[in-house]
Structure 1
Amino acid sequence: MKTTLFITGMLLSVVTSFAQEIPEAQVPASVVAAFKKDFPQATETKWEKKADAHSVKFKVNGVEHKGWLDSNGKMVKHKVDIKESELPAAVTTTLKKEYSNFKVSGVYKMLEGNVTTYEMDLKNDQEKWEAVFAEDGKLVKKKQKDKSGKDKPAKDKDKSAKAKKVS
């Protein structure tokens, strides 16, 4: 019993030490200033401290965003909720051709450096996948999920999803 309590306590302390919501006043002024310059219309901002960087969740015109900023306030990664109808034509074509038997949900546009990708969940009656596509419609990465949404061990061959394992 003591071992279980100890392990539980350690896990909780590790999880809470990686990301902690903090008030904006505790975020370095240079980081906040850079963020506000790039997103002056941001509302509902919530800051977190992560290792040597900060992340911020916010809304712009009701659309949810999440950004990761380095210690100088440079946005190194930016995730924005989008509608399926906002996907590039090449991604839509791939979805229609290769994943026509899947429902698309949870669509995000991810900007990291000069690279833009599109993340989404693909689900049908038998399977659930988390997939990432490049702007040209090519599958970049996929992860199978179980019914509860947790990662499932990868399979080498997946005939029903018609997707190749991409590194």
Structure 2
Amino acid sequence: MRTYLLYLTLSLAITTLQGQVTRGQQLPEGLIETFDTDYPEADETEWSRNGAKYSALFLLNEFRMEAVYDQVGEWQYTDVFLPETEIPEKIASHFRAFYANSGYSLKEALFHDAPSESFYILKIQKGSQAQSLRFTEEGDLLE
């Protein structure tokens, strides 16, 4: 019985830690230095791993952000999670005019910055119907 309980406890602990980079685990060489160069003022940084990608969730200038790097430490993209008050007016107006008046609510807003493209994302929901709207940096809806 003790063996079974020990096995059960270890299984739960391993399942809980999957995807998290814990103390003692190694991040790719140079990743923390790259991150510190990219975001020297970052606070409350937490690392996780999803496959070959490493994510740093952190605070910067009162914004929650996530920077994603590949297995060799090369930056892939950063998401900046935006409070509703920080959504550009052109995007907020579009949401209000075409979605909020139809019963959709805003679940999450973010700015996605990648080497090849940058855009805003609004994650919206009406009942069980959820969708993501993408906008250019100028506030135009992307198809």
Paired residue for 1:137? 140
Asked if the contact 2:80–2:110 (Cα under 8 Å) also holds between the matched residues in 1, the reply is yes
Give the letter aligned to residue 37 of structure 1.
T
CA–CA distance in 1 between the matches of 2:21 and 2:53? 13
In structure 2, which of residues 114, 120, 126 is the aligned counterpart of residue 118 of structure 1? 120
Task: Give the structure-1-normalised TM-score.
Answer: 0.62
Paired residue for 2:55? 55
Task: Say whether residues 1:104 and 2:126 are aligned partners.
Answer: no
| Equivalent position SS for 1:23 | coil
| Equivalent position SS for 2:30 | helix
Aligned length: 126
CA–CA distance in 1 between the matches of 2:108 and 2:29? 33
Asked if the contact 1:92–1:137 (Cα under 8 Å) also holds between the matched residues in 2, the reply is no
CA–CA distance in 1 between the matches of 2:73 and 2:82? 24
| Equivalent position SS for 1:35 | helix
* RMSD of aligned alpha carbons: 2.8
CA–CA distance in 2 between the matches of 1:87 and 1:115? 18
Query: Which whole-Å deviations, capped at 9, do the CAs of 1:34-82 have from their partners, x for residues lacking one?
Result: 0000101111111112322311111113321111112342221111111
Task: Say whether residues 1:40 and 2:40 are aligned partners.
Answer: yes
CA–CA distance in 1 between the matches of 2:133 and 2:119? 7
Give the letter aligned to residue 119 of structure 1.
I
Paired residue for 1:165? none
Runs of 4+ in 1 over 3 A off after TM superposition: none
- Structure 1's unaligned 5+ residue stretches are 1-8, 141-167
Query: Which whole-Å deviations, capped at 9, do the CAs of 1:94-129 have from their partners, x for residues lacking one?
Result: 2132113233232111112232222233245x4542
Q: Taking structure 1 as reference, are residues 43 and 25 closer, same or farther at Cα in structure 2, changes over 3 Å only?
A: farther
Q: Taking structure 1 as reference, are residues 127 and 74 closer, same or farther at Cα in structure 2, changes over 3 Å only?
A: same
Q: Taking structure 1 as reference, are residues 48 and 106 closer, same or farther at Cα in structure 2, changes over 3 Å only?
A: same
Asked if the contact 1:22–1:49 (Cα under 8 Å) also holds between the matched residues in 2, the reply is no
- Structure 2's unaligned 5+ residue stretches are 1-10
Q: Taking structure 1 as reference, are residues 100 and 52 closer, same or farther at Cα in structure 2, changes over 3 Å only?
A: closer
CA–CA distance in 1 between the matches of 2:56 and 2:27? 10
Asked if the contact 2:29–2:73 (Cα under 8 Å) also holds between the matched residues in 1, the reply is no
Percent identical residues: 18
